[in-house]
Structure 1
Amino acid sequence: MTVTGRFSSAFGRRLRDDKTHKRVRKTSVTQQVLEQLEGGNVSKAVSVLFVSLEPVSYWLYKLLLRSCSSASLAVQTRKVVSHLVTFSPLPPIVLLNRAIETYGKIGCVNDARELFEQMPERDGGSWNALITACAQNKVHDEVFRTFRRMNRDGIRATETSFAGVLKSCGLILDLRLLRQLHCAVIKHGFSGNVDLETSFVDVYGKCRDMSDARRVFDEIKHPSDVSWNVIVRRYLEMGSNDDAVGMFFKMLELNVRPLIHTVSSAVLACSRTMDLEVGTLIHGIAVKLSFVPDTIVSTSIFDMYVKCGRLESARRVFDQTESKDLKSWTSAMSGYAMNGITRDARELFDLMPERNIVSWNAMLGGYVRANEWEEALDFLALMRKEVEDIDNVTLVWILNVCSGVSDVQMGKQAHGFIYRHGYDTNVIVANALLGMYGKCGTFGSANTLFRQMSELRDEVSWNALLNGLAQLGRSEHAISFFEGMQLEAKPSKYTLATLLAGCANIPALRLGKATHGFLIRNGYEVDIVIRGAMVDMYSKCRCLDYAIEVFDEAGTRDLILWNSIIRGCCRNGRSKEVFELFMLMEDEGVKPDHVTFLGILHACIREGHVELGFQYFSSMSTKYLILPQVEHYDCMFELYCKYGCLHKLEEFLLLMPFDPTIQMLTRVYDACQSHGWKKLEAWAAKRLHERSSPAATVL
């Protein structure tokens, strides 16, 4: 007898057992399955069922499906469904619906679709289960296709159907489709469903249509805490920080208890606007709600205090956090590092009980952002000893360090590592590598890499190459590459600002004018950043009239723009206009800074306004609360020495909070020799001798 025959014979004998034995075995199988499930062994429980050649109770199938879903067991789910459809020719529709839902939850959307198509009968729950399964697995086309089939078959959509389609709308961000869906929900009479209305608020916000998001929110009769969380979060993501905070406090006025994430979002909004007063108030609310121990809330409060310059308060929040895990340690340390407070960041880093690559990257990134290259190099040496695996973020920071110290050889070593380990296919790493070669002045290597990137390159790649060319003064190459970029990618405002800055540094008037013309012809918005770059470019290219024209066309003018035109006037020998510009600047309510006063003092030097120069210098600290820097003192030395006001210089020396630099002393010595001011000349000579002596050098 063949193996197949023996199996058939055995199978036949089992099927011919009497009903009593069958009942015993059935109970035995169920009991075995339950015992395995109670022991937490879902796979074993499914195996017990699968080898059984008899059906079991429907509730057991349902229990097994739920267990497989919780454990994300795909093979075991297929076995349960296979056993069900084999031994129950007409299983309940609701049980098959649960099977479709289980497939969706464990990521087996094809199995869910196949089971749905094989069902002899379906109800609305079947359609909802498939729509939900496809939505959960981001198979958006299938979601919409199933929803249309459902409507064509005359199946009335429910809240669950719309929830699944809404989920897909929120991921593909199709505003037109969203509005059609919204109309359908109202037509079906579901406009009073808080969960659906909240979903619409969420998706409208994700589609960046906050006017409709707010309109839908205001129409919700009784918004839930989730509804409030969604509207606050969407305002935050749109950059409407004041609206986010306003909605948070409106929520409190209506006695709705906020969620942890809502409090965190409100604090983050205060961080962005640096509103310490409101941020402190929300901190107090978080304390009353007992939310501060939560890592999400404490981290956002910590970050708010750091950005507002309250380091003691920030550290106190961190120290008072009871359960500090790796994430909270890293978040706190990153808060310091990313805000340039590297000393405190390193202190926390050294105290961390454990670290991961994210921690190391955050600290290294802090040094890079603060341009602390020596510290970054030392930290890299430490990383090399203690960290085995690095990622693409680490490589980007390493390449930034190479750029900062202009060490192209170290950059080439990093390039070799990137190539050997397959990171060259990562566009972010490739762009950082391209930027490094450009900033180090090795255009040949940058150009070769750029061509090798081929289809990988994007707008950032073009920016890096154009920036490198502009810095090298190769304006002709920059023009040709800019023309090539237009065939492959649309230049962003950042690209054009980069080009204008490069033209200013060369200077390259022809390329600057071409870039200006491109902006106008293609309808780009000339914002404050682009306008400032144009003013700077034209003034450095000795076309001050063009710079003034661009400046006058500005609707709003910030401090950077005022400083650009003031420096431009000084640079182009039109110093008299600086004083008029300064008065206009004050009339517009723009507060000057130390850069503004450097321009004014240079104008005083050019025009010979000694007394006026001293008045402006004095007003820095008395009127504008700006502490004069070495450059401002140097300007005063130049002003007094150039026009022979050495008696004024003697009085000025008595007011200085630090010793004059060698450059200042040399200027004083030369001026005294020219004007026969012997006493001050002798003093300057003595101080210069002290500065240049070996003992002084050692000290």
Structure 2
Amino acid sequence: MNAASLINHLLNQTKTKTKTPQPASAKFLTNKIVAYLNSGRLHEAVSVLFASPEPFPYTLYARLFQICSSRKAIVEARKVESHLVTFSPTPPVFLLNRAIEAYSKCGCLVDARELFEEMPERDGGSWNAIITAHSQSGHAEEALCFFLQMNRSGVFANAITFASVLGSCAVVLALSLSRQIHGLVVKYGFGANVILETSLVDVYGKCGDMSDACRKFDEIHNPNAVSWNVIVRRYLEMDDGKAAVLRFFQMFPAAVRPLNFTFSNALIACSNICALKEGMQIHAVSIKMHFDVEKVVSCSLIHMYVKCGKLEDAHAIFEQPNEKDLISWTSIISGYAMSGKTREARELFNNMPERNVISWNAMLAGYTRFSLWEEALYFVLLMRSTTKEMDRVTLGLILNVCSGLSDVEMGKQVHGYIYRHGLSSNLVVGNALLDMYGKCGNLRSARVWFNQMSQWRDNVSWNALLTSYARHQMSEQAMTIFSEMQWETRPSKFTFGTLLAACANMFALEQGKQIHGFMIRNGYEIDTVVRGALVDMYSKCRCPEYALKVFKEGGLLDVILCNSIILGCCHNRRGREVLELFGLMEEEGIKPDHVTFQGLLLACIHEGLVKLGTRFFHSMSDEYGIIPRIEHYESMIELYSRYEHMDELEGFVNKMPMEPTVSMLNRVFDACRQYGHLRLGKWAAERLNGSNPSNPFQFDT
């Protein structure tokens, strides 16, 4: 027996026990109920109606259902429906439709469905009410089933029905059914309804068909602000930030005022593609239209400036007198933390009026990103003593801390927590555990846990295990894991990067070639990262011709890839190619870094180009703003020493901004003894003796 039937039964019992009705007319009671409703006393109004053994005007029932819907008063709604069906054996269909809507708004879908199934007659409004009820309650598949039943019963849908059905199609990503409904919308003459046209744009976008979404949007005669917001949002969700920003700017020639969420979506799109210029333009428009004071827009502005590397601008928006919420606090803290300014981030974190798990994660992520393991550990202890909130992101970060500290025992404690709280089957957490055991060198536990993950592991799990063995110089075992991996999942480009590094470590040229061929045969993209790994592998395996071929066959170049081939050529004593490659970098406009110059200096050492090496060394700071490192000074000392440029060597070591290391002094001493440079040799010997008096150096000419 459902709730309505139970109330009906109780009402009949009350009616039977009442010997004589109350001496009040229906008109008097109606006025009394209306008076209660006008004063906002719904409970008293329904009590009067429920106690009366007489029917009331249908308009009164309709008003009661409407108020019950808006207040989500389920008990009162049930009483009104019970009274209606008790004293009106054949109530009008529109009133029962209002009852279904009331049950839906109150979150009682079972009551709505039971009433619908008990209705002796139904009209389009009945079907619309039950479809909308299921759609708005998150039961998209049931809503679509009711829509199909409605069509089979010969009832035509209206615009409201189509809107609900299209919303349900978007939830379950029913692209084929959406296209059929699109045809019905046009067939029934609703093709020019801007709400339905917008719903079609929305469903096509959510189903990943942006070409149809864009085509449908362009067909809308006068798209409104919601229409524009939908197309911007769908492009954003499809990771096409450029198109999202473009659509946003197209709103203004169309004379449509954006919604605050449209501003937010456009700013998020700018964040994703680091479009600072466009983001600043949107910021200016938001100020002009007074949207910058709204929380959703100000939070997006902070996020955009953070992502584009403009922390000062983000902080300036944060410091504006607008009300700051938890999202804005977390955004600015994350910006400072992930930019390496953990001290400033921690000060902001300490001043937060409230925190949630995301706030804690943002601060902890900053510590782990920059390998501040001790600070991260103390922060974890503070978090555990302050709050019990932890999610899978927190656990992954804590496991990163365990890896950074090589503390496998703490990692095992985290593993126990994960097991006790039923999170073992979470793939993200499971992969983080696997990575922790591997980085801590506990390969036995890594393998055991990997086997326990057999029901839910993915290619990330395989990559983590494979990388663990490769990282600990167990390259042959890594190759064996790769063979096993192919039975279960498709390797990713990250897998091949690890394998090629393993081949480079054990000089396995033939296996490296096989992996290269495997990628080509199976259609894998040879991107910049993989090209770098191939160049490194071929270079270390003494096959510079193949390394140069891979380098030249690719498209875009970057400094990392160029450094790989430069160091590879140095490794194979092909200094002339290094100089040619540096010329190519300059032609392509690729700015060198300290690794590039280390390769150039090594090439000069191999080729005996002392003057060119000197010019490269000075150009680091003079032309490129790169401060020379200790390895660059060591290379210059080796260059001068090897080719007997003793005067240049003496002048160089005397002008060094740092004290020479023992290895530098040893090289100077050996060169002076070899070439008979007395003054500099004695100087080097004195320095060496000062650092190691128990084993004195003597310079003999």
Residues 22 and 448 of structure 1: is their aligned pair in 2 closer, same or farther, counting only changes over 3 Å?
Answer: farther
8 Å Cα contact 1:292/1:321 also seen in 2: no
Which residue in 2 is equivalent to 1:285? 285
Structure 1 position 365, deviation (Å) = 1.0
Q: Provide the C-alpha distance between the structure 1 equivalents of 2:13 and 2:200, rounded to a whole number of angstroms.
A: 62
Matched, 1:370 2:374: no
For structure 1, which segment, 135-144 or 427-436, has the greater mean C-alpha deviation from structure 2 after superposition? Answer: 135-144
Superimposed CA distance per residue, residues 275-322 of structure 1 (whole angstroms, 9 cap, x where no aligned partner): 333322322222222222222222222233333333322221111142
* 1:29 and 1:49 in contact (8 A); partners too: no
TM-score under structure 1 length normalisation: 0.88
Cα displacement (A) at 1:67: 4.7
Q: Distance in 1 between matches of 2:308 and 2:524?
A: 34
Aligned partner of 2:16 in structure 1 is 12
Deviations 1:383-436 (A, max 9, x none): 233334433322111101111122112111211222223332322222211110
- For the pair 1:596 / 2:583, whether they are aligned, the reply is no
1:38 aligns with 2:59: no
Conserved? CA contact 1:307–1:339, under 8 Å: no
Q: Which amino acid aligns with 1:634?
A: E
Distance 1:34 1:282 in 2: 47
Does the 8 Å CA contact 1:241/1:272 hold for their aligned counterparts? Answer: yes
Worse-matched range after superposition: 75-84 or 170-179:
75-84
Residue 79 and residue 670 in structure 1: after superposition, are their counterparts in 2 closer, same or farther (change >3 A)? farther
8 A Cα contact 1:471 1:506, kept in partner: no
**What runs of 5+ residues in structure 1 fail to find an aligned partner?**
1-5, 694-699
Q: 1:671 maps to what in 2?
A: 671
The answer on 1:312 being equivalent to 2:317 is no
Q: Within 2, Cα distance between the matches of 1:234 and 1:78? A: 41
Instruction: Give the equivalent residue in structure 2 for 1:631.
Output: 631
State the one-letter code of the partner of 1:216.
K
Q: Distance in 1 between matches of 2:77 and 2:326?
A: 36
One-letter code aligned to 1:411: G
Contact 1:299–1:331, Cα closer than 8 Å, also in 2: yes
Aligned to 1:462: 462
| Pairing 1:224–2:207 present | no
Partner of residue 96, structure 1: 96
Residue 444 of structure 2 is aligned to residue 444 of structure 1: yes
Q: CA deviation digits over 1:475-521, x for unaligned, max 9? A: 44434433443343333333443443444455555654444344333
Change over 3 Å in CA distance of 1:482–1:30 after alignment to 2: farther
Kindly provide the amino acid, as one letter, of the partner of residue 478 in structure 2. Answer: A
Written as runs of structure 1 = structure 2, the 5 A alignment for 1:305-384 is 305-384=305-384
Residues 435 and 464 of structure 1 are in contact (CA less than 8 Å); yes or no, is this contact kept in structure 2?
A: yes
Distance 1:195 1:467 in 2: 52
SS of residue paired to 2:141: helix
- The alpha-carbon distance between structure 1 residues 514 and 19, as it changes in their structure 2 partners (threshold 3 A), is same
Alignment correspondent of 2:522: 522
After TM superposition, the structure 1 stretch with the greater mean CA deviation from structure 2, 510-519 or 325-334, is: 510-519
Map of 1:295 onto structure 2: 295
Equivalent AA in structure 2 for residue 38 of structure 1: G
Measured after TM superposition, the shift of residue 48 of structure 1 is 6.9
Q: CA deviation at 1:363?
A: 0.4
Is 1:274 matched with 2:278?
no
363-372 or 614-623: bigger deviation: 614-623
Pairs within 5 Å for 1:442-521: 442-505=442-505, 508-509=508-509, 512-521=512-521
Residue 645, structure 1, aligned to residue 645, structure 2: yes
Distance in 1 between residues matched to 2:372 and 2:218, nearest whole Å:
50
Separation in 1, partners of 2:590, 2:11: 93
Task: Determine the C-alpha separation between the residues in 1 that align with 2:369 and 2:116.
Answer: 55
Q: CA deviation at 1:364?
A: 0.5
CA contact (8 A) 2:575 2:606 kept: yes
What CA distance in whole angstroms lies between the structure 2 residues aligned with 1:669 and 1:83? Answer: 108
- Structure-2 change in CA distance of 1:587 and 1:354 (3 Å): same
- Within-5 A mapping of 1:80-479: 80-479=80-479
Determine if contact 1:470/1:503 at 8 Å carries over to the other structure.
no
CA distance in 2 between counterparts of 1:641 and 1:71 reads: 89
Partner Cα separation in structure 2 for residue 63 and residue 383 of structure 1: 52
**Two-structure CA RMSD over aligned residues (Å):** 3.3
**Is the alpha carbon distance of 1:436 and 1:24 closer, same or farther for their aligned partners in structure 2, counting shifts above 3 Å?**
same
Query: In the alignment, which residue of structure 2 is the partner of 1:3?
Result: none
Give the 5 Å matches for 1:674-689: 674-685=674-685
Residue in 1 that maps onto 2:5: none
Distance 2:233 2:51 in 1: 51
Structure 2 counterpart of 1:30, one-letter code: I
Change (3 A) 1:192 1:471: same
511-520 vs 328-337, which moves further: 511-520
Identical pairs, percent: 56
Q: Report deviation, 1:132.
A: 1.9
* Cα gap change, 1:64 to 1:541, in 2 (>3 Å): farther
C-alpha distance after superposition, 1:316-351 (max 9, x if no partner): 111114211233212211122233332221121122
Q: Report the equivalent of 1:696.
A: none
In the TM superposition, what whole-angstrom CA distance separates every residue of 1:513-558 from its partner, at most 9, and x where no partner exists? 4443443333333333333333333333444333333333323333
1:609 is displaced (CA, Å) by: 1.7
Counterpart in 2 of 1:697? none
Matched letter for residue 253 of structure 1: P
> 1: CA distance between counterparts of 2:572 and 2:77?
79
Aligned to 2:578: 578
Give the aligned length.
685
Whether the 8 Å contact between 1:166 and 1:199 is mirrored in structure 2 is yes
Larger mean Cα displacement after TM superposition, 173-182 or 398-407: 173-182
Shift of residue 107, structure 1, vs aligned partner = 4.2
Aligned equivalents of 1:31 and 1:188: distance in 2? 41
Q: TM-score, normalised by structure 2?
A: 0.88
